[in-house]
Amino acid sequence: MRSETRNRPAAYPPRASEAARPFWDELREERFSTTRCDDCGDMTFPPKVVCPNCLSERLSWRPLSGRGTLYSYTRVWAAPAVFGDEVPYTLCIVDLDEGLRVASRLLGDHASPEVGAPVSLVFLHYEDVTLFCFEPGDG
């Protein structure tokens, strides 16, 4: 996993709930993590306060590798106004090595990214928040 710094605030920063605050704090420290149920072992993304599989409230934070494969993508040419100066950009669905499916953004000007190819996580440090995205390669 690598990182990039953007010298501006994020165009559309997340509204982090108290329950999700540890995720965003970890991301700022360049750690990518989620919750795992202590009772049934189910991992979910995004992090949860209640296990969607067995309804247990006994969840622990677990690190994720940030590595996966590209499941799907779409190129955005007509974006919401807040992302207007970033078009075109690529949204992607990534299957993480841990078995979780994550929606994110794919960096680079890839006319046609290769579905099934390895991707790795990139931390994007904005002035107000750290976000994550993916790029082709196994990092």
Binding residues for Zn ion, per CB under 5 A? 37, 39-40, 42, 51, 53-54, 56
Q: Is 23 helix (H, G, I), strand (E, B) or coil?
A: helix
Min. distance of Cβ 38 from Zn ion in angstroms? Answer: 8
CB 45 within 8 A of CB 51: no
Cβ-based neighbour number of residue 32 at 10 Å = 19
Which residue lies nearer to Zn ion by CB, 40 or 117?
40
Residue among 42, 35, 43, 34 at smallest CA distance from 66: 34
CB 36 within 8 A of CB 43: yes
Which residue lies nearer to Zn ion by CB, 42 or 97?
42
Min. distance of Cβ 100 from Zn ion in angstroms? Answer: 15
Which residue lies nearer to Zn ion by CB, 64 or 121?
64
Which residue lies nearer to Zn ion by CB, 54 or 117?
54
Min. distance of Cβ 71 from Zn ion in angstroms? Answer: 24
Min. distance of Cβ 60 from Zn ion in angstroms? Answer: 11
Q: Is 45 helix (H, G, I), strand (E, B) or coil?
A: coil
Give the list of residues 6+ apart from residue 61 with CB closer than 8 angstroms, or none.
22, 26, 33, 34, 35, 36, 47
